[in-house]
Amino acid sequence: MTGSPRRVLLEWLHRRPGIGTGVLAAPAGLWLVAFFLVPLLVMAAYSWMPRGIYGGVEAGITAEHYRRFFEPLYLRILGRTLLWAVGATAICLALGYPVAYAIARSGRWRRWLLFLVILPFWTSFLVRTFALIFLLRDTGLLNGWLLRLGLAAEPVPLLYTPFAVMVGLVHGYLPLMVLPIYASLEKLDPALLEAAEVLGARPWARFRRVVLPLSRPGVIAGCLLVFVPSLGAYLTPDLLGGAKQVMVGNLVQSQFATARNWPFGAAVSFVLMALVLVAVLVFLRARDRAGAEG
């Protein structure tokens, strides 16, 4: 006898540290299995099953839904989605990098400026998107100014255009670009810039040869954080793009809700997931390459 059962149990656990880790991770793990993995598997199964007459599915196996996605109509939606996601990422990078750079160099104002960048997250994305409608619609703020200043004779259509969708995407995801770039610039040792300067590097050369390469991990992370949600955007094109500017996210929604074609909606979802996976792998490889180069 080595002691009470409690003591025996504790000693047994102590000799197997893996079990302690398991106990800590179990609640969240079970949650994810029950409410993420299981529904996903159901979706996967649906995407390979024939469509039922009143929604739902019938028994059997078919690749029909995946084949259907490659029809020109849907490929156009996919192409538009990719283009806009790339565009939103590029615009966020062009706007976000200077902001991150300015904040990293702003000294004691840093905290406040970062606070301002994060501030929009305190309001619901939906509310902010509706606010954009007030700004962009024909009787909205922008058109009001254009008319009053005599820059336009009649309201310029802004809402329900690709422009409106892009405004929505960039406004929603810009902070996700700024923050990781700021984090990498903030770590930059000022002595490196001084060393470059003594070695004869003018401001632009210092930026190109030292600042930019060393902030590359932040740029890659920022692009990933903007590109992936842009690819799956649903709310923004729905509210700001109207019926004409459909993205893959809207296609999924319409298949599940209005068309009641669940297996096709599931297949589109999986194509989108595959695209996201590819994007993540590309970005991760770019990051590793940046790491290997130093």
Q: Write out the residues near another protein by the rule CB under 8 A.
A: 189, 191-192, 194-202, 205, 209-210, 213-214, 293-294
Q: How far is the CB of 188 from another protein (least distance, A)?
A: 10
Q: How far is the CB of 207 from another protein (least distance, A)?
A: 13
Which DSSP category does 242 fall into?
T
Helices within the chain (DSSP H only): 5-15, 17-32, 38-47, 64-69, 72-104, 110-118, 125-136, 141-148, 162-186, 190-198, 203-206, 212-214, 216-231, 235-236, 248-257, 262-293
Toward another protein, which CB reaches closer, 1 or 191?
A: 191
Q: How far is the CB of 288 from another protein (least distance, A)?
A: 14
Q: How far is the CB of 276 from another protein (least distance, A)?
A: 29
Q: How far is the CB of 109 from another protein (least distance, A)?
A: 18
Residue 96, φ and ψ in degrees, nearest 5: -80, -35
Which DSSP category does 112 fall into?
H
What is the C-alpha to C-alpha distance for residues 159 and 270, in angstroms, rounded to an integer?
30
Q: How far is the CB of 187 from another protein (least distance, A)?
A: 11
Cβ atoms 219, 52 nearer than 8 A? no
Toward another protein, which CB reaches closer, 30 or 205?
A: 205
Q: How far is the CB of 283 from another protein (least distance, A)?
A: 19
Toward another protein, which CB reaches closer, 220 or 252?
A: 220
* Residues with Cβ within 8 Å of residue 157, at least 6 apart in sequence: 138
What is the C-alpha to C-alpha distance for residues 277 and 235, in angstroms, rounded to an integer?
21
With CA atoms as reference, report the closest residue to 276 among 103, 81, 77, 4.
81
Q: Provide the angle, in degrees to the nearest 10, between the axes of the packed helices 262-293 and 216-231.
A: 170
Toward another protein, which CB reaches closer, 81 or 184?
A: 184
* Dihedral angle sign, alpha carbons of residues 284, 286, 290, 293: positive
Q: SS3 of 51, please?
A: strand
Toward another protein, which CB reaches closer, 147 or 201?
A: 201
Toward another protein, which CB reaches closer, 147 or 214?
A: 214
Toward another protein, which CB reaches closer, 60 or 200?
A: 200
One-character DSSP codes across 52-99? PBTBSB-SS---HHHHHHTSHHHHHHHHHHHHHHHHHHHHHHHHHHHH
Q: How far is the CB of 189 from another protein (least distance, A)?
A: 7
With CA atoms as reference, report the closest residue to 154 among 142, 141, 138.
138
Toward another protein, which CB reaches closer, 208 or 285?
A: 208
